[in-house]
Chains A and B, each alone.
Chain A
């Protein structure tokens, strides 16, 4: 087979592909909390609790309860000069779920469909 034939064959290959990662390790933070984690990690993974509360209250999240509901190996609350500070402890876990909910890198085409995403846990309970 000549080189020209090879090139011609290559251009006619019609492939479809499926590509998906394995589900991340639990616990599933749920989609709304993954949005918070995405914000927190991109803001340095350490923020004042008062700032987190103010921003995420409007999204229906009680950040203090969210943090306390997770094991300290994932997130923790610290004190600094009399203020409460939220610190993400397990970036690898957060990063996996952020990626799972497609919140890692912003895409223009994802703006609308994002609202339709449910958490793995929510999907299971809907069955």
Chain B
């Protein structure tokens, strides 16, 4: 069978091929593990997985995993002492920050807006629920990266608009 003709990878991308976060923290085993778990946060990981992924020896991987567990990035499940499982600690704020960093790395390289999109997504889905509105409007639309977000407000049951509700204009 004839060999498949494929274009050569553009030279400017070669340096990013095996460099986590665009080479910002070097390409050591621990950084490679961090990039992988942040990229696939719901996976259950065994040390063997990282040995194969990084090409590093078992003691090196074990040391990195212990370090990341102590730092609160990973949680170690020792239900089976012989075969521990590592999971991402999804409560760690560092995970969110590292997720944004992963987007920022390609944004700086390619001039895209993935990090902005991710921050907006996080704000809309997580942060916004925690914010008490200071003023009430009927509808707001946001445009980012070609998508339109629509945010609608409704008065609750029995709520009278007008006298008791502070409107956005003038008084807020």
A: residues with CB less than 8 A from B are: 6, 9-10, 12-22, 24-25, 35, 38-48, 51, 54-55, 76-80, 84-85, 87, 91-92, 95-96, 99, 102, 104-108, 111, 114
| Contacting pair B146 A19 (CB below 8 A) | no
Q: Which of A6, A96, A105 contacts B166 (CB 8 A)?
A: A6
In the assembled complex, B156 has its CB within 8 A of some CB on chain A: yes
Contact string, B83-120, partner A, CB cutoff 8 A, digits 1/0?
Answer: 00000101100011001101101100010111001100
B: residues with CB less than 8 A from A are: 6-10, 13-14, 16-17, 19-22, 35-36, 38-42, 52-53, 88, 90-91, 95-96, 99-100, 102-103, 105-106, 110, 112-114, 117-118, 121-122, 124-126, 128, 133-134, 136, 145-157, 159, 164-166, 171
| Contacting pair A91 B114 (CB below 8 A) | yes
Q: How far is the CA of A87 from the CA of B106 in the complex (A)?
A: 12
- A111 and B125 in contact, given A76-B7, A104-B118 (Cβ under 8 angstroms): no
Q: How far is the CA of A91 from the CA of B105 in the complex (A)?
A: 12
| Contacting pair A44 B106 (CB below 8 A) | yes
| Contacting pair A16 B99 (CB below 8 A) | no
> Nearest A residue to B115 by beta-carbon distance?
A95
Chain B residues in 8 Å Cβ range of A21: 124, 147-150
- A79 and B136 in contact, given A20-B150, A95-B118 (Cβ under 8 angstroms): no
Which 7 residue pairs are nearest across A and B when measured between Cβ atoms? A14-B156, A42-B39, A106-B41, A78-B9, A108-B90, A80-B9, A42-B102
Chain A residues in 8 Å Cβ range of B171: 6
Q: How far is the CA of A95 from the CA of B17 in the complex (A)?
A: 20
Query: Closest CB-CB distance, B54 to chain A, in whole Å?
Result: 11
Question: What are 28 A-B contacts with C-beta separation under 8 Å?
Answer: A6-B166, A10-B134, A10-B166, A15-B159, A19-B124, A19-B151, A21-B148, A21-B149, A22-B147, A25-B146, A42-B99, A42-B102, A42-B103, A43-B35, A44-B102, A45-B106, A51-B53, A76-B7, A78-B8, A92-B113, A99-B121, A99-B147, A102-B125, A105-B96, A105-B122, A106-B41, A106-B96, A108-B90
> Nearest B residue to A115 by beta-carbon distance?
B42
Chain B, interface SS category: mixed
Chain A residues in 8 Å Cβ range of B36: 43
Query: Closest CB-CB distance, A122 to chain B, in whole Å?
Result: 20
Chain A residues in 8 Å Cβ range of B164: 9, 12-13
| Contacting pair B6 A77 (CB below 8 A) | yes
Q: How far is the CA of A92 from the CA of B9 in the complex (A)?
A: 21
Q: How far is the CA of A10 from the CA of B16 in the complex (A)?
A: 52
Chain A residues in 8 Å Cβ range of B148: 21-22
